[in-house]
Structure formats: structure tokens, C-alpha cells
Structure 1
Amino acid sequence: MAMLLLIAWLGLCAWTDLRERRIPNALILGGLAVACTWLLATGQSLAGASVGNALLAFLIALLLTLPGYCLGRMGAGDVKLMAVLGLASSVSHVLFSTLFAALAMVIVAWLGTRPEQRQAGRSRTSRYRPYAPFVLAGLLLFQVGIARSS
């Protein structure tokens, strides 16, 4: 049930990111409030990980996203989204979601360019692509993998 709450929140963030190319702070703060309240009340994340694992996932999310933000490749909302995802889930969730999001974005960017641009290594795509939908897809794939292995 708690995992469904996390997926619903991330789905709303993804939908907003697709529509507006940004994730409002109200959504981020709402997710942060739920994740922190759940951690304090139950002693585990929404995904069932220990508090220590969730805090480590939070730190890993920041380590993975802050360089992209500092280099101008990622928006601040994406960094905050991943930080909240870390607090709400686990190290495995964050790593798999980040890996899938990166691979999917590379594929989508490559498919969105003309053949002559691919050879030259250039793309006409905008500077920022919505990141949250890719993270959501990665989280869902990870959850399906967990469900199948159980």
C-alpha cells in the first residue's frame, strides 16, 4: 500500500514534468513530508527499507544528481525529486531508477535526432528533457522485477 503512494506521487511528478517541464516545489515538499513522516512513524521507508538504507539512498541520490545540476545538465527539481525518492525508497530503488532513466534518455535523445546529426554527435533536442517520467518507468520496472522474483 505504501509503495502505491510512492508510485502515485512519482506519477504526478512525471505528469507535471511532461506538461510543464518543471516539478513544483509543492509536489516535492509534499513527497518529502510523507516520506519523512513515514520514516519516523514506522521506522522504514515507503518501500520497506530501513531508516539507514533510506538515508544512504538519499545521499546516493544527491551524489548522482548534483554533478548534473552543477554542470547545467539537470534541473533543481530533478535533484530534489531524486532526494525525496531516496528517503522514500532504498538504495536499490534509487540506483536502478537512475540507471534506467539515464539509459532511456540516451536512447530517446538518439532516436529523436536525424541520422546526419547522430553521426556528428549533435542533437536538436532542448537542453532539459523531462526526467521524472524516466525515473517513474525505472521504479516501475524495478518493482515488477521484485514482484516476479518473490
Structure 2
Amino acid sequence: MPSWLVSSGSPQGWVMGALLWAFALGYWDVFHRRVPNLLVFGAAALSLVSLAVTGSSPLGAGGWSMLGASGLALLLTLPGYLTNKLGAGDVKLLLAVALFGGVTVTLITFVIGALVTVGVAGAFLMLGGRYGLQSATGKYLPFGAALALGFGVALVCKQAGGLPWLL
């Protein structure tokens, strides 16, 4: 396992926990069609406590970055929520990501999540008729799971030094 993934220093020491958190959120959203408030509000509270104690988020984002990321998260998700395309859990999840990682992580999380969702929807539309796939519930795709995947990718790329043109 890479040393940056489990090192005890800040912010690298938080990476494994954040990845597990993202996995749990994605799993829950895929199989239960809900984003659990306990996990989302817990991460947001942890980020605010970290800001109060250390002056930065668990992943090293400063207070202004956290504030800007929160505004960005609302700007990106509230239109979808107000038009019933996104659920409230998706909005809260991206807000928690904003508080945890700052502006760059929030933007990358949203972009990757949106691309994953578009790709899955496109594959579903292209292959659905051919293989008899149908929506069992008639609901939308679980966007929270795509956001969780995007957050995981943003974390790994940021910590590994990848995607230099984005991070």
C-alpha cells in the first residue's frame, strides 16, 4: 500500500478514512438510494472542528477555500435540486466534500461525478434495448455514488501528485 495512503501526518493521514467514507456513501446510495445524513453531517462536523482546532480542513484546505467550495457546491447542485433532478442528499454530500477538501477537490469531484453519470446513462440508453435492461424503480441514477467516486479519484490524484493541470 502506498505510504501516502496510510501515513500518520496531516493531511495524508486522513486519506484512507476519506476513501472509506466515500466508499460507504457510494455503496449506500447505489443499494439504498439514499445518502446517509449521519455520514454526511459527521464529515462536515469533523471538517469544522478541524478548522477550529488546526486552522484547516482534514485535507489541508484553508477556511476561505472551504467557504468558497461551499458556495461552489451550492452553485453546482441547487439548480438540479430545485428542478427535482438531484436529491437533497446529493447537495449535502457535495457540501461535505467542499468542507473536507476545498475548492479544487470540490470542482474535480463534481466534474468526475458528472462525467461518470453521463457515461453510465449513455451506456444504459445504448445497451438498454439490446439487452432488455429497464429501470426497476423509474428513479434517476444515484448521483451521490458518482460524487463519491469523483471524490475518491480527486483524493488519490491529489495525494499522488497526478492531474497537475487540475490540482
Q: Which TM-score band applies after superposition, normalised by the shorter structure?
A: 0.7 to 0.9
Structure 1 residue runs without a partner (length 5+) = 118-123
Choose which of 34, 38, 55 in structure 1 pairs with 2:67: 55
2:161 is aligned to 148
How many residues align structurally?
145
Aligned residue number for residue 127 of structure 1: 139
Q: Is 1:106 the counterpart of 2:118 in the alignment?
A: yes
Tell whether the 8 Å contact from 1:10 to 1:132 is kept in structure 2 after alignment: no
Task: Provide the C-alpha distance between the structure 1 equivalents of 2:40 and 2:149, rounded to a whole number of angstroms.
Answer: 18
Distance 1:50 1:133 in 2: 26
Verify: 1:78 aligned to 2:90, yes or no: yes
Structure-1-length-normalised TM-score: 0.86
Report the counterpart of residue 105 of structure 2 in structure 1. 93
Listed one character per residue, the Cα deviations across residues 38-72 of structure 1 (whole Å, up to 9, x for unaligned) are: 11111111211111101111111011000000010
- What percentage of aligned pairs have identical amino acids? 32
Contact 1:73/1:127 (CA < 8 Å) preserved in 2? no
Q: SS where residue 136 of structure 1 aligns?
A: helix
Q: Is the 8 A contact 2:26 2:149 kept in 1?
A: no
Q: CA RMSD in A?
A: 2.2
1:135: how far off? Answer: 1.6
> Shift of residue 7 of structure 1?
2.3
Cα 1:44–1:127 change in 2 (3 A) is same
AA at the equivalent of 1:101: G
| Cα pair 1:75 1:128 within 8 Å, conserved | no
